[in-house]
């Protein structure tokens, strides 16, 4: 359960592949301007539930290019810039 994009958002981890839906993208994060979206909760979900995983985990987002978790931890500007 990774709320933020929506209250019921989830990500699925299968072996070393994370299906992140609209939670985490390559270089971005999911929109939170919809009803029930919460940017602060999204950042907490990413930091506390996703970023604790191994850097080699492949991220398969709901939109766009795939990435690796280690790359997002280092370079994702939305997560890095948030308090």
Confidence grade of residue 80 (pLDDT, cut at 50, 70, 90)? confident
The 3-state DSSP class for residue 70 equals: helix
Q: Could you tell me if residue 58 is inside a domain?
A: yes
Q: Could you tell me if residue 7 is inside a domain?
A: no
Number of domains in the chain: 1
Give the range of the structural domain holding residue 54, as residue numbers without chain letter.
Answer: 12-80
pLDDT tops 90 at residue 72 = yes
Determine how many CB atoms are found less than 10 A away from the CB of residue 3. 18
Q: Could you tell me if residue 61 is inside a domain?
A: yes
Strand partners, 68: 58
Q: Each residue of 45-54: pLDDT tens digit?
A: 999 999 999 9
Q: Could you tell me if residue 1 is inside a domain?
A: no
Contacts of 1 (CB under 8 A, 6+ apart): 8, 9, 10, 49
Tokens of 83: 């308090």
> pTM for the complete prediction?
0.94
Q: What is the average pLDDT score of the chain? A: 97
Alpha-carbon span 59 to 51, nearest angstrom:
11
Q: Could you tell me if residue 5 is inside a domain?
A: no
What is the predicted pLDDT for the residue at 82?
76
Q: Could you tell me if residue 6 is inside a domain?
A: no
pLDDT tops 90 at residue 57 = yes
């Amino acid at each position: 359960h990774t709320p933020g994009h929506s209250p019921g958002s989830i990500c699925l981890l299968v072996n070393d592949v994370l299906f992140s839906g609209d939670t985490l993208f390559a270089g971005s994060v999911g929109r939170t301007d919809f009803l029930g979206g919460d940017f602060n909760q999204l950042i907490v979900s990413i930091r506390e539930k996703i970023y604790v995983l191994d850097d080699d985990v492949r991220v398969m987002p709901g939109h766009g290019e795939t990435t690796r978790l280690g790359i997002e931890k280092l370079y994702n500007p939305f997560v890095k810039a948030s308090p």
